[in-house]
Each structure stands twice: as C-alpha cells, then as structure tokens.
Amino acid sequence: MPDSTTAPNKGEPLQLLSVVIPARDEEGCIASTVEHLHVELRLHNIPHEIVVVDDGSTDHTWERLQEARTRVPVLRPVENTGLHGFGRAIIFGLEQMRGDAVVIMMADESDDARDVVRYWQLLNEGWDCVFGSRFVRGGGVIDYPWLKMRVNRLANFFIRVMFRIRLNDTTNAFKAYRRTVIEGCKPLLSPHFNLTVEIPLKAIVRGYSWTVIPITWRNRRTGVPKLKIKEMGSRYLFICLYVWLEKYFSRGDYRRLDEEPGR
C-alpha cells in the first residue's frame, strides 16, 4: 500500500504524461532508455511524450536521439543552449513539456519504466505528487556503490528529521508531479542535483498531496555517473535550509492557492 499524507482530490482526468529526461554524454544508453520507456507506456495506453534534454553533450548523444526519433514518434529531443547543469537541464525540460503531468527520469535506465506506469495511475487517482522510494518494503537497489549508499542514507535521515516527514528517499530524482505542482513550486532555484530535493520539499511545504510507493533502481551499465558527492554537500544544505525557512517563517505565503481550509 502507498505511504500517503492526506487523501487525494479527484479532479479532471489527466490528458498527457510528459517524461523529462536530462542527458549529458549518454550515447551508450539513451536510445534504449527512450525505446523501452515508449514500449511500456504504449502497452498501457498512456498518452505520452518523452522530452530528452541534451545538456551540452560532447559525445554522440544528440545523434543517437535523432536516430531514435524515427522509431519513437513521441520523442522530443531539445538542446539546453544556456548554462549547463543537471537542475538547469530539468528546468529547461519542464519549460518545454506539453503534458498536464510529468515524470522526471534518469537517462541511464537506472529507473524502471514499469514504475512510470504506476506513477501515472496514482496521479490519475488525484494525487498531486508521487514519490518513489528504494528503501521501503517492496523497493530495492541493484549494484548500489557502498559509499554512495552511506551518504544517501545519512542525507535522507537529515532531511526527514529537519522537515519531520516520513519520506526516506527525498534525494532520488525519479518522481512524478501534476503540472500544477511544478507551477506552484516556482521559482526553481537549483542548478545542479539539489533540484531533486527542492521540488519535493517545496511541494510538501506548500501543501500539495503526496504519496510514496516502492520502486527499484539499478546502477548504470554504461557511461560515467554525473553526481559528484564532494561537490554537492553545501548545495543540498543550502536548498534544504532555504525551504526550511519557508516552512517555518513564510507564514504560509507560498502555500497552494486552492488548498482546502484546515487541511
């Protein structure tokens, strides 16, 4: 059963799912990621588009995307021609998307396309956000580097205590949102991997409904990891403090406008 906050509000059925995938030097896997995702969503009759943001690749990522377009008609490759960075690429993709819901997904096939289907189904039940956790019953990881695992668990424990929430995998990028949540969390500030905590924490603090389901994660089989742990500590801390200050000192100025009284 999903771990949930408040009950979802059933609204109008969602019309289109956008999957935003930032990619930098992913020539070895980006085509298979896109193709496997498209097959899974098509099998479940989910209307979708796949927005892949080439974030300044120096290899053949862009060429692989152009080739994949002939096999995946819903693929929309776009180039981030401004400043680069994981967060900037996602923000650029969110600005390009056409859907009324979005899943943010990694380019290296570490995320399971079957979980995207479950995200879509829960969003259609009325949830504003669906967060996947690799560290609840039913979730799992394959070939997770031990040092990265320790840092991950410490960081997520810190966030749980700081914000008094049950979510134990906030740093995971693989999450789903209604478009209204993305609009309601603006402005998005994080240029790097700290965007992965900015969006969910803002969504929680601003009063959007959310639920958690178990997901699976597999370490990349090609390419080089882009997350540099030693560079991210202060950036994660900055954005956590920023949202924490909003939670306790903004007096509700940024909470969702359509929130029910007393909720």
User: Which residue range(s) make up the domain with 117?
Assistant: 14-249
48 in a structural domain: yes
| Residue 119: closest CA among 30, 46, 194, 36 | 46
The pLDDT assigned to 83 comes to 96
Specify if 223 maps to a domain.
yes
Report pLDDT for 112. 95
Sequential DSSP letters for 13-77:
PP--EEEEEEESS-TTTHHHHHHHHHHHHHHTT--EEEEEEE-S-SSSHHHHHHHHHTT-TTEEE
Structure tokens at 207: 């009063």
Q: What percent of the chain has pLDDT over 70?
A: 88
pLDDT the model gives residue 262: 39
Instruction: Give domain status of residue 256, yes or no.
Output: no
Q: Determine the residue type at 236.
A: Y
140 closest CA partner among 110, 109, 107, 166: 110
* Token code pair at residue 8: 């979802």
State how many domains the chain has. Answer: 1
Whole-number Å distance between alpha carbons of 206 and 201: 8
Structure tokens at 41: 């969503």
Which of 57, 37, 54, 50 is CA-nearest to residue 89? 54
pTM over 0.75: yes
Q: What is the model's pLDDT at position 145?
A: 86
Report the pLDDT averaged over residues 169-198: 96
Say whether pLDDT at 6 is over 80.
Answer: no
Please check whether residue 2 lies inside any domain of the structure: no
Q: Let me know if residue 38 belongs to a domain.
A: yes
| Domain presence at residue 100 | yes
259 pLDDT band (50/70/90 cuts)? low
Question: What is the per-residue pLDDT across 137-146, written as a single tens digit (0 to 9) for each?
Answer: 999 989 888 8
pLDDT in tens, 85-107: 999 999 999 999 999 999 999 99
Query: In this structure, is residue 232 part of a structural domain?
Result: yes
| Cα separation, 238 vs 154, whole angstroms | 16
Helix (H/G/I), strand (E/B), else coil: 44: coil
Phi and psi of 194, rounded to 5°? -70, -10
181-191 pLDDT, tens digit each: 999 999 999 99
Q: What is the CATH number of the domain that holds 168?
A: 3.90.550.10
Is 9 part of any domain?
A: no
